[in-house]
Chain A
Amino acid sequence: MASPVITDQQLHCYHCGETCANEKIHVAEKIFCCEGCKMVYHILNQSELCEYYNLNETPGINQRVHVRKDKFAFLDDDKIQAQLISFRDEKQVHVTFYLPQMHCSSCLYLLENLHRLDPGVVSSKVNFTRKEVDIVLLTSQTSLRKVAETLTSIGYEPYISLSDLKEKRPAINRSMVYQLGIAGFCFGNIMLMSFPEYLGIDASEVGLRAMFRWANFALAIPVLLYSALPFYESSWKSLKHKFLNIDAPIALAIIVTFIRSAWEVISGTGGGYFDSMTGIVFFMLAGRIVQDKTYRQLSFERDYTSYFPIAVSVLKENTEVPTTLPDLKPGDTLLIHNEELIPADGILSKGKAFIDYSFVTGESLPVLKEVGELVYAGGKQTEGNIEILVVKEVAQSYLTKLWNRDEFKKQEQAKSVSFVHLLSRYFTYIVLTIALITGIYWQMHDPSRVWPAVTAIFIIACPCALLLSNTFTNGNILRILGRNHFYLRSAQTIEDMAKATHIVFDKTGTLTSTQQQDIHYEGTELTDRQLKQVAALASCSSHPLSKALAKHLGIPKDMEVSGFKEITGKGIEGTVSNDLLRSGSCEFVAGRHSSQPGTAVYISINNKIYGYFLFSNHYREAIPGLLNELKNDYRLSVLSGDNEAEKANLEKLLGRKATLLFHQKPEDKLQYILQLQEQGDRVMMIGDGLNDAGALKQSDIGIAVAEQTNNFTPSSDAIIEARQFSRLTKFIRLCRANRNIVVASFVMSIVYNIIGIAFAVQGNLSPLVAAILMPSSSLSIVLLTFGSSSLLARRMKL
């Protein structure tokens, strides 16, 4: 492990594993890509924490982007502290930090050994799935800010956002797991104690039999009163809305079964159906838990507050005062440091802004703003510090205003009713009719059999099989999709996916990649040597355009750059193997304004202008194929915030019928979705930036595209990893199959029900028949749904 990590003849950083241009930065035999990585190694080495590197190869996080020294100054503020810490007394403070960089066991090791780096830390415990670390620290020896800075220095910068200022997130609801545990316990024991009942006990042992019955009775009570609570709650809610959902007949069946069984036990006429009742509750709760398995590491509820920092520096009489965002007032002057987000609309008052709006629009190339220009909130400054005069409060800014619209304040009402509930409604009516007819029949022929026959119908005909097939199929499909990096918010989303008729795409960042640009050169032909020179010059700069250019041309190793100068917002110059190169804006290189509408980097060598590199959006590889597949089955639209430069290209991809709209503001996108919905379309919106957030929320199903799931995505119903985008049609097909599987297993459960009802209407449903029919129908349905959805997924190669 002491030798540098060398693969493919390339040098990789010992800390983060990125390729290193040369061997300049090293400690002993270990090579680092930048001073930041070397620094982290130093810190760890001093504290004897190098085990970090033994657990995983190159576990570190790249440190090229430096974090500002005073970034966490706001943590000294008492008011902010109070919002973040979970517990405090005179001696110690408990705090939980979210560390999105956490990714392997090395991280775990390092973070749990935090006390060795900062003696003031009493303990640190990692929750890996949530990427959180709970830290207990001594206020006498360290502070919140110091701990945050220590974490930052080793590459785990705590992510503290404006949403932390709001109320604490609710604790995870575990009650359903408890309910399942209790139901399982009671079900198992009741089954065991029902055996004498099934097998027929010797008439001589009535005492024993009565004891078993009473024990079953006692064990069924917790199931009735505690485990079945979710069904009562949900059916009560639906009845209040004058709607019969699937839980209503189930709650009815549970209660009827219990009453009848209790009456049988008390009167000594029979053993009751406690085993079936607890069994149903157990299986249905299990199904719910399978279905509700959520991706806790992902958040589907992000609004702008999760992107925005908790505090910014406000300049007051030339000193920086950390101020929380809600306290910002128009007229304040903000100091926005390099790599910081602009939290409010304002006028640029000092410096040159190079703003990366990729959070907002998905556009990866930064926009240049000059002093006096209006800058909108949500952008990230990428070069140097700027000062901004706030003109609007945070909540009133162009971007954030969207969230204050009434549509977003309303509690999200049930967007659509699942077909399962509609099915169950018919089902309930049919069952009620059968029960009524049976009741009347027996009333006329043999009144003593009315009660047993009618209750038996309710017991046997409860739509639990339907509910089971639904929850288990949904759960399995969510799991299959999750395995393919397509994460749905809830089971209802599956149905919404299947029902969509109109797909709306955002262009920038969704159809095109934010990671890559198409670059092509126009002008006088450059020789290989000249190209290498340009690449060498570009590789010295941290500007996104230069970086992209260097990546495009390939970084040469044998070129020395001297006299490198970077003029912020203009360009770079330097001498590369005795030639003076300049690269940058037209103004900087050629001294005139550019006539080129797109983003271009001009090149001059020894003061002779050669030409320019034109940057354009790069469509994701899979897009043409995907659009081709979707074109026939769906109406398609593309909404773009950009100009119409790409119109011809898009028309070729989407076909004639598609709607293409340009210059769309966030509000326009939302309006367009509304308009489609009024026409009766079910809209699937696919977007990535904050500017799509309104449309994503309004649409029937909003899918956010993320380059990495750790990255931040606007609130949506589903998150898809960009690499999986090409498989969208497969995912949709799987969601559509979901319905068929549920219906198929429903038919099967009806067959079971008919057999059961045939016994029940005659008034002689023996506990043994019920005990065999109930679990075996439930189990076979679970197997059928799981099996068929898994088989389908395998056939689709998902």
Chain B
Amino acid sequence: MKISPAIDTRYALTGTRKIFLQKRKIKSMSVIIILLIASISVAALFLVAFLWGVKSGQFEDDYSPSSRILFDDKPSSSTKTV
């Protein structure tokens, strides 16, 4: 990536120090790009999950799933009283 001349004029520093700083800028920039990509892809993942949930009708019936989970698959034989 190209470094703008602004940096050179801004800092009145020795040659080695200048180079070190320039390298750090490049590094911080690429880190930001990685972070950006990571954060957007995580957000996109949630977006997809949300859209998927809407599509499969999860937000339409909020009563049955919560009660369904409480049912035992097989009622124990003790409930058979007669």
Residues in A lying within 8 Å of B, measured CB to CB:
2, 27-28, 45, 48-51, 54-55, 105, 108-109, 112, 126-130, 172, 174, 177-178, 181-182, 185, 188-189, 192-193, 203-208, 211, 215, 296
A112 and B60 contacting across the interface, CB-CB below 8 Å:
no
Q: Is B38 an interface residue (CB 8 A)?
A: no
Q: Which of B33-47 contact A (CB under 8 A)?
A: 33, 36, 39-40, 43-44, 46-47
Complex CA gap A676/B29 in Å reads: 73
A181 vs B54: C-alpha distance in the bound complex, in angstroms? 10
A205 to B61: give the CA distance in the assembly, Å: 50
Q: Among the listed A51, A108, A172, A182, which residue makes an inter-chain contact with B75, where contact means beta carbons less than 8 Å apart?
A: A51
Distance, CA A51 to CA B75, complexed state (A):
6
On whether A105 and B6 interact (CB within 8 A), knowing A178-B54, A205-B29, A211-B33, the answer reads no
Q: Bound state CA distance, A181 and B46, in angstroms?
A: 10
Residues of A within 8 A of B4 (CB): 204, 206-207
Task: Given A108-B64, A208-B29, decide whether A45 and B47 contact each other with a Cβ distance below 8 A.
Answer: no
Cβ of A415 to closest chain B Cβ, rounded Å: 29
Given known contacts A127-B60, A206-B4, A189 and B29 CB-to-CB distance under 8 angstroms: no
Contact check, A172 vs B60: say whether CB atoms are below 8 A apart: yes
In the bound assembly, the distance between CA atoms of A51 and B81 in angstroms comes to 11
Among B40, B54, B62, B82, residue most surrounded by chain A Cβ atoms (within 10 Å): B82
Contact A129–B60 (Cβ < 8 Å)? yes
A51 x B79 contact (CB < 8 A): yes
CB distance from B82 to the nearest CB of A (A): 5
Nearest Cβ on chain B to A710's Cβ, whole angstroms: 15
Chain B nearest CB: distance from A466 CB in Å? 29
Q: In the complex the two chains form, is A208's CB within 8 Å of B75's CB? A: no
Docked Cα-Cα span, A112 to B60, in Å, equals 18
Q: Knowing that A50-B75, A296-B60 touch, tell me 9 more A-B residue pairs with CB under 8 angstroms.
A: A45-B81, A51-B72, A55-B70, A105-B70, A108-B63, A189-B39, A204-B25, A207-B1, A208-B32
Query: Which chain A residues border B43 with CB–CB below 8 Å?
Result: 185, 188-189
Instruction: Given A28-B81, A45-B80, A50-B79, verify A204-B7 contact (CB < 8 Å).
Output: yes
B62 touches A129 (CB 8 A): yes
Specify the chain B residue showing the minimal Cβ separation from A181: B50
List, in ascending order, chain A residues with CB within 8 A of B1's CB.
Answer: 207
**Count of A-B residue pairs with CB < 8 Å:** 90
Interface size class, chain B: 35 or more
Say if the beta carbon of B13 comes within 8 Å of chain A. no
In the complex, residue of chain B having the shortest beta-carbon distance to the beta carbon of A54: B79
- For A296, the chain B residues whose CB sits under 8 A away are 60
Q: Does B55 contact A (CB under 8 A)?
A: yes
Known pairs A174-B55, A181-B54; A204 contacts B6 (CB<8 A): yes
In angstroms, Cα B42 to Cα A188, docked, is 13
For B59, the chain A residues whose CB sits under 8 A away are 177
User: CB-nearest residue of chain B relative to A196?
Assistant: B32
Instruction: Give chain A nearest CB distance to B34 CB in angstroms.
Output: 12
Chain A residues with Cβ under 8 A from B20's Cβ?
none
A105 to B82 Cα, complex, angstroms: 24
A45 close to B82 (CB less than 8 A): yes
- In the bound complex, residues from chain B placing their C-beta under 8 Å from that of A112 are 68, 71
- The answer to whether B54 touches A105, judged by C-beta atoms less than 8 angstroms apart, is no
Residues of B within 8 A of A207 (CB): 1-2, 4, 29
Chain A residues closer than 8 Å to B40, beta-carbon distance:
189, 215
CA distance A131 to B29 in the complex (A): 56
> Which residues 1-42 of B have a CB within 8 angstroms of A?
1-2, 4, 6-7, 10, 25, 29, 32-33, 36, 39-40
Are B68 and A127 closer than 8 Å at their CB atoms? no
Of the residues A178, A192, A204, contact of B51 by C-beta under 8 Å: A178
User: In whole angstroms, how far apart are the Cα atoms of A205 and B6 in the complex?
Assistant: 10
C-alpha spacing A138/B19, complex, angstroms? 77
Q: Which residues of A contact B44 (CB under 8 A)?
A: 185
Contact in complex: B80, A50 (CB < 8 Å): yes
Closest 7 CB pairs of A and B: A105-B67, A51-B75, A128-B63, A185-B47, A128-B64, A50-B79, A129-B61
| C-alpha gap A27/B10 in the complex (Å) | 95
Pairwise interchain contact B77-A48, C-beta atoms closer than 8 A: yes
User: Which residues of the partner chain A approach B64 to less than 8 Å between Cβ atoms?
Assistant: 108, 126-128
Known: A181-B54, A189-B43. A49 touches B10 (CB 8 A): no
Tell whether, in the assembled complex, residue A174 and residue B68 are in contact, meaning their CB atoms are under 8 Å apart. Answer: no
Give Cα distance in the complex from A215 to B64, angstroms: 42
CA–CA, A211 to B36, complex, Å?
A: 10
Most buried by B among A27, A28, A48: A48
Q: Roughly how many angstroms separate A215 CA and B36 CA in the complex, as a whole number? A: 10
Q: Which residue of A lies closest to B77 (CB)?
A: A48
User: What's the minimum C-beta distance from B14 to chain A, rounded to whole angstroms?
Assistant: 19
CB neighbours (8 Å) of B68 from chain A are: 108, 112
The answer for the CA separation of A49 and B75 in the assembled complex, in Å, is: 7
Residues of B within 8 A of A203 (CB): 6
With A108-B64, A129-B62, A215-B36 as contacts: A204 and B79 at CB distance below 8 Å: no
Give 12 A-B contacts (CB < 8 Å), ordered by A residue.
Answer: A2-B81, A27-B82, A45-B82, A128-B63, A128-B64, A128-B67, A129-B60, A193-B36, A204-B4, A204-B10, A206-B4, A207-B29
- Contacting residue for A181 out of B51, B62, B79, B81, CB 8 A: B51
- B54 near A174 with CB under 8 A, answer yes
Given A174-B55, A207-B1, A28 and B82 contact (CB-CB distance below 8 Å)? yes
A763 nearest CB across to chain B (Å): 28
- CA A55 – CA B69 in complex, angstroms? 12
Report yes or no: B55 in contact with A182, Cβ–Cβ below 8 A.
Answer: no
By beta carbon, the residue of chain B nearest A109 is B71
Taking the nearest CB of chain B, how far is it from the CB of A169, in angstroms?
Answer: 14
List, in ascending order, chain B residues with CB within 8 A of A182's CB: 47
> Are A130 and B32 in contact (CB-based, < 8 A)?
no
Write out the residue numbers on chain B whose beta carbons fall within 8 Å of the beta carbon of A129: 60-63
| B contact residues around A204 at 8 Å (CB) | 4, 6-7, 10, 25
A115 nearest CB across to chain B (Å): 12
Residues of A within 8 Å of B79, CB to CB, are 48, 50-51, 54
Tell me the minimal C-beta distance from B54 to chain A in angstroms: 5
Q: Which residue of B lies closest to A28 (CB)?
A: B82
**How many whole Å from A447's CB to the nearest CB in chain B?**
32
